[in-house]
Amino acid sequence: MADEIIEELWSIKDGIAREHDYDVDALVAHLTALAPLPGQRVVDLRATRVAEQDRQVDVERAPRR
């Protein structure tokens, strides 16, 4: 069953890419313009990733005992 779901997702992805002549800029513009469906939340993880990177740098710079 999981393979069927993956195949369907790939088919959808390939169709969207084909509709935009495999142009990454056109794909980004298209996907950015799509409005979220009612009830959907948009989550921006960039701040979380930056915080995680900062913590990793702090750990790497911490004095070793």
* Tokens linked to 53: 């990177």
At 2 the pLDDT is 73
Residues of the chain with pLDDT under 50: none
pTM of the model: 0.49
At 45 the pLDDT is 81
Answer for the pair 40, 50: CB distance below 8 angstroms, yes or no.
no
At 65 the pLDDT is 63
At 9 the pLDDT is 93
At 1 the pLDDT is 63
Answer for the pair 52, 42: CB distance below 8 angstroms, yes or no.
no
Q: Mind giving me the DSSP string for the chain?
A: -HHHHHHHHHHHHHHHHHHTTT-HHHHHHHHHHPPPPTT------HHHHHHHHHHHHHHHHSPP-
> For the chain, what are the domain ranges?
2-61
